[in-house]
Amino acid sequence: MNIPIYLDNNATTPMDPRVLEAMLPYFNEKFGNAASRNHPFGWVAEEGVDYAREQVAKLIGATEKEIIFTSGATESDNLAIKGVFEMYKEKGNHIITAVTEHKAVLDACKHVEKLGGRVTYLPVKEDGLIDLAELEAAMSSETILVSIMYGNNEIGVIQPVKEIAAIAHKYGALFMTDATQAVGKIPVNVIADGIDLLALSAHKMYGPKGVGALYVRRKGPRVKVTAQMDGGGHERGMRSGTLNVPGIVGLGKACELAGLEMESEAKRLSALRDKLQNALTVLEESYVNGNVEHRLPHVANISFKYVEGEGLMMAMKDLAVSSGSACTSASLEPSYVLKSLGLSDDLAHSSIRFGLGRFTTEEEVDYAIEVTKKSVNHLRELSPLWEMFKEGIDLDSIEWAEH
């Protein structure tokens, strides 16, 4: 067992050695530009890209012409939201999204607002799911796009995508989903789910960083987005720029492997995750954040009340995890995702996200349980709040000095 143990697979995943192996030839011997149409160097590179396009399409039930390669999910989200807004502005200017979306979606929406768009940010319920009735109430004839993520990066909650798509379509709007955390982890099918645009990223599924894709539906309806990057007209004119051939080949291979191994991997990971969660919620005053039934198989977000997340992570230095605590970011604001579930700031500060992955072993999970328990208990011994709680003092009755 190697220390530290990596349990931050929602941030990024290590690359699968089989992916690396598939990519390597495309750095040197197959170095051609996939857009070079008149010599074998270009053809070989193009073949690699074409094959990867099929691999990506197959994983999500799409056809290869519907896959636009990008630099990652952030770019895909931007292209989808800004691109739809520009393309469909004759039809309407209203976009609906949710408060728990990734910043790539939220900030692209804010950009659209500056351009005269109107955006509705749906709240979420305590369990992190959106309320379908609220979505429907927000729909209007002006609504051109509904953008709701598939699985949440912080709490792993899976939104009812199929039902959301049906509501969007009922009002003539397109449905886009940021599926960065879901693709390759759970079955995602653009036809069955009714998805018109979908963003995905390679490095969240054991592929390389710096490459992703946007699925853009071609039939029923034919969806178009206005390019956000101008140039040589690559990717059917929707995303110019020389293709990142090794990255794309890696993304393709990562999708192929995910398709083959997802089912057994999800079973294994959810069993390990449940073991971790059950062992840690034995601790007093520990709470799982978000819906536990509609949740990605490898994620558990747990708040340990009366200890602060960053302090806790320092004690758990043998584990690489992440926290919703303000102290981990420059903003000094705790996680907006946890706060939108209605969590108080102190519980948001006390949260730890465990993200298991393909290379996580049971031995590592057992060790993580021990380290976490020990660290929580240690920090509670240091915590004045824990002492007050144990003495039966109501912390809400104290007038805290904000600083």
Partner 1 sequence: MAYSDKVIDHYTNPRNVGTLDKSSHKVGTGLVGAPECGDVMRLQIQVDDNNIITDAKFKTFGCGSAIASSSLATEWLKGKSVDDAMKIDNMDIVEELALPPVKIHCSVLAEDAIKAAINDFRVKNGMEPIVLEKSHH
Catalytic residues: 327
304 makes contact with partner 1 (CB under 8 A): no
Q: Kindly tell me which residue out of 122, 174, 326, 356 binds partner 1, with binding defined by CB under 8 A.
A: 326
116 makes contact with partner 1 (CB under 8 A): no
State the nearest-atom distance from the C-beta of 400 to partner 1, in Å. Answer: 3
CB 149 within 8 A of CB 159: yes
Q: Is 74 annotated as a binding residue?
A: yes
In the shown chain, the binding pattern of residues 370 to 399 toward partner 1, with x for contact by CB under 8 A and - for none, equals: -----------xxxxxxx-------x--x-
Q: Is 143 annotated as a binding residue?
A: no
DSSP code, position 26? G
Q: Is 138 annotated as a binding residue?
A: no
Residue 109, Ramachandran bin (φ over 0: left; ψ between -120 and 50: alpha; else beta): alpha
Q: Which is nearer to partner 1, 71 or 344 (CB)?
A: 344
Q: Is 294 annotated as a binding residue?
A: no
HEC letters along 86-130: HHCCCCCCEEEEECCCCHHHHHHHHHHHHCCCEEEEECCCCCCCC
318 makes contact with partner 1 (CB under 8 A): no
Residue 89, CA distances (Å) to 115, 229, 267, 331 in order? 11, 19, 44, 34
Q: How far apart are the first and last CA of the chain?
A: 43
Q: Kindly tell me which residue out of 147, 325, 351, 360 binds partner 1, with binding defined by CB under 8 A.
A: 325
Q: Which is nearer to partner 1, 295 or 305 (CB)?
A: 305
Residue 208 CA neighbour count, 13 Å, CB half: 21
Residue 212, CA distances (Å) to 197, 221, 258, 392 in order? 13, 23, 15, 52
State the nearest-atom distance from the C-beta of 351 to partner 1, in Å. Answer: 11
Dihedral angle, C-alpha 378, 383, 385, 389, nearest 10 °: 40
Q: Which is nearer to partner 1, 93 or 375 (CB)?
A: 375
Q: Is 181 annotated as a binding residue?
A: yes
402 makes contact with partner 1 (CB under 8 A): yes
**Tokens 């990596």 correspond to what residue?**
6
Q: Which is nearer to partner 1, 127 or 310 (CB)?
A: 310
Q: Kindly tell me which residue out of 151, 207, 252, 311 binds partner 1, with binding defined by CB under 8 A.
A: 311
State the nearest-atom distance from the C-beta of 386 to partner 1, in Å. Answer: 8
114 makes contact with partner 1 (CB under 8 A): no
Q: Which is nearer to partner 1, 185 or 349 (CB)?
A: 349
Torsional sign, CA 68, 72, 76, 82: negative
Q: Which is nearer to partner 1, 47 or 310 (CB)?
A: 310
Q: Is 203 annotated as a binding residue?
A: yes
Please report the DSSP string for 305-352 in residue order.
Answer: TTS-HHHHHHHTTTEE-EE--GGGSTT----HHHHHTT--HHHHHTEE
CA-to-CA distance for 35 and 13, rounded, in angstroms?
30
115 makes contact with partner 1 (CB under 8 A): no
Residues 334-363 that bind partner 1 (CB under 8 A): 334, 344-346, 349
Q: Is 303 annotated as a binding residue?
A: no
State which H helix or E strand residue 311 sits in.
Answer: helix 309-315
Q: Is 213 helix (H, G, I), strand (E, B) or coil?
A: strand
26 makes contact with partner 1 (CB under 8 A): no
Q: Kindly tell me which residue out of 50, 310, 318, 366 binds partner 1, with binding defined by CB under 8 A.
A: 310
CA-to-CA distance for 96 and 149, rounded, in angstroms?
12
State the nearest-atom distance from the C-beta of 343 to partner 1, in Å. Answer: 11
- Beta bridge mates, 201: 212
Residues that bind partner 1 (CB under 8 A): 306-311, 314-315, 325-327, 330, 334, 344-346, 349, 381-387, 395, 398, 400-403
- For the annotated binding site for pyridoxal 5'-phosphate, the residues are 73-74, 153, 181, 201-203, 242
